[in-house]
Homo-oligomer: A and B are copies of this chain.
């Protein structure tokens, strides 16, 4: 297994956990868990593959991705009641999945020889759109658009870290590691310590 497909499998598994946790908050049945888990797990990568015209789509090529996501859904269905705060678990798993998926998305675009701007965008698309679909379908405020959180920002910063590392070392493994680390650190700092960029305010400060 290559580093890139390992990242794909890891992000699929972890995103599937977050989809299933969202299903548990909506009190769905086990197939509803599997549905939301798979939508979240393969959603971002599917859009990446459609945009880059990769055929076949990664999970049509290797349906084991679907198997993995469905196992994750079953695991959550059986164990979610053991967690005291599912929302907190969801938040941290989502952070982990985001950082792995950004690396997977940027890695695919890099390996296809795309320009730096497309590499950064594919990292962000792959990282954020699965979770965005999960939240839109479940009618929750998308994590990606929550006020005053580093989310898309973390994804972009990670993708840019991958680009810089590739320039310096031309070692794609190092680039993927740098990408995951930067995204995770920024996102974790935002969750744990409230790191953020200034947000737009409707009125400028009075003097």
Contact A33 B156 (CB under 8 A): no
Are A197 and B29 CB-contacts (below 8 A) given A55-B53, A202-B24? yes
| CB-CB under 8 A for A147 and B63, given A51-B57, A57-B51, A141-B139 | no
CB nearest to A35 among chain B residues? B152
The complex is assembled from copies of this chain, and their number is: 3
Q: Contact at A30–B137, with CB atoms within 8 Å?
A: no
**Complex contact A63–B27 (CB within 8 A):** no
Provide the residues of chain B in CB contact with A137, threshold 8 Å: 132, 136, 142, 145
Distance in Å: Cβ of A61 to nearest Cβ of chain B: 10
- Bound-state CA distance A115–B67 (Å) is 13
Contacts of A35 in B (CB 8 A): 124, 128, 144-145, 152
B31→A156 contact, CB < 8 A: yes
> B residues within 8 A CB of A189?
none
